[in-house]
A and B are shown apart, each in its own frame.
Chain A
Amino acid sequence: MTATLTADRAVRAPRVPVGRGYRFELVKVVSQWRIRLLVLACWIAPAVFVAGVSQQSTLPVDTLFGRWMLATGWAGPLVILGFAGTWALPLLTSLVAGDVFASEDRLGTWRHLLVAVRSPRRIFVAKALASLTVILLLVAGLACSSAIGGLATVGHRPLVGLDGHLLSASDAAGKVLLAWVCVLGPTLALAAIGLLGSVVLGRSPMGLLLPALVALAMQLAQMLPLPVAVRLALPGYAFIAWNGLFADPVQLGPLLIGIAVSLVWAVVATTLAYLLFLRRDFTNLTDDGLGHRALTLGVVPLVGLLAVSVPVVAAASGASGSGIEQDKVERSVATAFAHLYRMQTDQLHRPAVTEAQVRASAACHKGSVTADAQGPGNDWRCVVSWHLPGVEAPGTAVYQLDVTADGRFMADGDGPKEVNGYFLVRTPIGDAPNPLWQFDGNVELLPTSKG
């Protein structure tokens, strides 16, 4: 009776609003030296790297757009983007999202936090938002810093696209920005996996490393000759697919699928982390995570998601096989050659020609397979033919191609020397890099658009 009467008098403590919890989490995260150093590194190191490399004669030609770092300041942020997708972003998401819950286990502060906030739901939301904010700050740092480094050193100049066509400086700027925005999708997916690992694995180092390990596994998978549908169903594909923005026409299909898949992964992994977090018993002092059962509950749905998304992607995109087929390779090589031939013509101060006048075509074979060749490999060989106005006989040039499983290729000129057999061309004002000697290209893996 007493309890019933008096219970009405007692006031339940109001739960802490998410905004306040978010600020509290940000204060904690930013107070860590590790995070401060990361922020500084992301906002300074890319500019220093791009500025340094852009003043050297040796360029990172094995990195996409690396060979154009002396030509335009917009190549630098793309080189950094390629590196970030492979290494930096997985590691950054590991260190931020992978530690946001585990740090409370390590410090023994869960009970303190729960007493203060009084809502695990709000704690989860605040922590997720805080880690997302820091990750966005780091990504913005990488993008801005590398762009500033490139522009300050080389300048706001046109960029040669992935198929050799020239993007105006302002177009390049827009597409560079868009490319960085696109990789936020897979970054969010990795961050969500980091949250999940942090919740499930507690203070175990595996929780911290999970996004990096998942990213590494995805990279290994992308190097294998997997079917296109599997490749696109992996949440990290958008780290590669942004390349398609720099082709003409833009290869949007793989990029949009990659972003959609990564966002679905982000939502599913975050939801799993949320549900598992709410199940945790914080009074059991021996419980610093959720154990093997939770590990299973975290992993099985993601494996199921992958299993479901492969046929869905296959059905939606019509993708089959490796996606690398002879006619696509020939079309990509011929297109890139035509664009770059115009550039070489301009360098040599010859009469201007258009791609339509050049009418470039390529005949490719892979090893001994000359008809319907397909698949990645470094044994592709192409003979490019082109025409000049008023000249009946077509010119020919030979390329050796190294086509990787993700559709990217590097064409290495094999002669004739005056066209594509040497890295320099003699221009009226001196020797200059030969754009036809080596170039990068991209084979669109989906059959829906022509590259």
Chain B
Amino acid sequence: MDTFPAIRARGITKCFGDVVALDGIDLDVAHGQIHGLVGPNGAGKTTLLGLLLGLAVADSGRLEVLGTPVERALTTPDGVAGFVDGPGLYPSLTARQNLTALTALRGLDTGLSGVDDVLDQVGLTEVADDRARGFSLGMRQRLGLAAALLTRPRLLVLDEPSNGLDPAGKKHVHGVLTRLAAEGTSVVLSSHRMDDLEALCSEVTIIATGRVVFSGPLGKLATDHRELDYRLLTSDPQAARRVAAETAGVRIVDDAAVRQDSDLLVIRALVPALDELVVRLVGAGIALRELAPVVSPLEAAFLALTEQKETGS
């Protein structure tokens, strides 16, 4: 068992000319953890992922990847794989040729069976001999993941791996990442898809304008102390509206989308008030058909934290 974290970053700063892309970033990722990196466009996620892949060197700060201090560009320790800014594929080669060429390039001993295995893992077996030129974005993402898997990484760095994935593709990718994490591989992924992050990640780091505004377990974000909007669908909307209006701590949100669906009610409440509402509805004989947050807790936290950050800056 490794005694060092997969990633340990302290005070990482990276500038492009006058633009500060990363401003004193701290990051810890444990072995076997799927860690999400979230932030608005231009927050510095891709730059950070590029540093982890050894594509550049930080201007200042200390970065250790798989226990090795990264002191200069392109000294990525063995065991790191992934992609930033989309997977790198050669459209004139087939999926299998892309992976075979990569295998030969890296001198991997996986052979053809290894190539077929990773193609199967990401669900691309049927199109293995099709040229990558005709691949959809989701297929390209999966092939990029397969390329990363070929090297049997101990740290997988993925930039927006869910882009363009259909439900089947998403299922494949989630399955692969979850299995890798269970086997001890650390995964750092950036995404704008909060549902993906919630489904996959045990911890997230939120970055805004190059700074960390939150880093920790997802549970810490979905606290009981932040009001959220919930969709409420019942067997008797009118009665439910009355009950909601009478419940302390529950506010009915007059939303344009709601007006189009008269059966749907959007309410805003803390979790305790929500619990009270559910009890009252059931007590009044109103069947509860749907109660779900309009935006996920992670998304709400993300919006709140990043807006706060931008307002503050």
* Chain B 39-98 interface residues, beta-carbon cutoff 8 Å to A: 46-47, 50-51, 53-56, 64, 66-69, 74-93, 97
> Could you tell me if A13 and B77 are in contact, using CB atoms closer than 8 angstroms?
yes
B104 on the A face (CB < 8 A): yes
Closest B residue, CB atoms, query A11: B78
A111's contact among B69, B84, B104, B105, by CB below 8 Å, is which?
B84
In the complex, chain A residues whose CB is within 8 Å of the CB of B82? 115
A20 on the B face (CB < 8 A): yes
Closest B residue, CB atoms, query A120: B74
B310 on the A face (CB < 8 A): no
A10 on the B face (CB < 8 A): yes
Say how far B175's CB is from chain A's closest CB, in angstroms: 23
In the complex, chain B residues whose CB is within 8 Å of the CB of A33? 92
> Could you tell me if B64 and A282 are in contact, using CB atoms closer than 8 angstroms?
no
B106 on the A face (CB < 8 A): yes
Contact with B along A271-283 (1 / 0, CB 8 A): 0000000000111
* Chain A 323-343 interface residues, beta-carbon cutoff 8 Å to B: none
In the complex, chain A residues whose CB is within 8 Å of the CB of B75? 12
What bracket does the count of chain B residues touching chain A fall in? 35 or more
Hey, which bits of chain A sit against chain B, CB under 8 A? 2-3, 6-7, 9-14, 16-17, 20-21, 23-24, 27-28, 31-33, 107-120, 281-285
In the complex, chain B residues whose CB is within 8 Å of the CB of A114? 54-55, 74
> Could you tell me if B4 and A2 are in contact, using CB atoms closer than 8 angstroms?
yes
A32's contact among B8, B87, B92, by CB below 8 Å, is which?
B92
B47's contact among A11, A23, A117, A283, by CB below 8 Å, is which?
A283
Top-4 shortest CB links A-B? A112-B88, A6-B67, A109-B88, A283-B50
B254 on the A face (CB < 8 A): no
> Could you tell me if A118 and B68 are in contact, using CB atoms closer than 8 angstroms?
no
Say how far B161's CB is from chain A's closest CB, in angstroms: 14
B213 on the A face (CB < 8 A): no
> Could you tell me if B67 and A111 are in contact, using CB atoms closer than 8 angstroms?
no
> Could you tell me if A3 and B106 are in contact, using CB atoms closer than 8 angstroms?
no
Further 15 A-B residue pairs, CB within 8 A, beyond A28-B101, A283-B51: A7-B69, A10-B67, A11-B77, A11-B79, A12-B68, A13-B76, A13-B79, A20-B106, A23-B105, A31-B97, A107-B89, A108-B86, A115-B80, A118-B74, A283-B56
In the complex, chain A residues whose CB is within 8 Å of the CB of B56? 281-283
Cα separation A16 to B106 with both chains bound (whole Å): 6
In the complex, chain A residues whose CB is within 8 Å of the CB of B90? 28, 31, 107, 109
* Chain B 13-59 interface residues, beta-carbon cutoff 8 Å to A: 14, 16, 46-47, 50-51, 53-56
> Could you tell me if B107 and A20 are in contact, using CB atoms closer than 8 angstroms?
yes
B261 on the A face (CB < 8 A): no
Cα separation A27 to B56 with both chains bound (whole Å): 27
A21's contact among B46, B91, B105, by CB below 8 Å, is which?
B105
Closest A residue, CB atoms, query B5: A2
Cα separation A27 to B102 with both chains bound (whole Å): 11
* Chain B 100-118 interface residues, beta-carbon cutoff 8 Å to A: 101-102, 104-107
Say how far B5's CB is from chain A's closest CB, in angstroms: 9
> Could you tell me if A285 and B105 are in contact, using CB atoms closer than 8 angstroms?
no
Contacts A111-B88, A283-B55; A16 near B3 (Cβ below 8 A): no
Cα separation A21 to B101 with both chains bound (whole Å): 10
> Could you tell me if B78 and A12 are in contact, using CB atoms closer than 8 angstroms?
yes
Closest B residue, CB atoms, query A7: B68
Cα separation A265 to B296 with both chains bound (whole Å): 62
Closest A residue, CB atoms, query B68: A10
Query: Can you report 23 A-B residue pairs in the complex whose CB atoms are below 8 A from each other?
Result: A7-B69, A10-B68, A10-B79, A11-B79, A12-B68, A12-B78, A13-B79, A20-B106, A23-B104, A27-B97, A28-B101, A31-B93, A31-B97, A107-B90, A107-B91, A108-B88, A109-B90, A112-B89, A115-B80, A281-B56, A283-B51, A283-B84, A285-B46
B2 on the A face (CB < 8 A): yes
Say how far A11's CB is from chain B's closest CB, in angstroms: 5
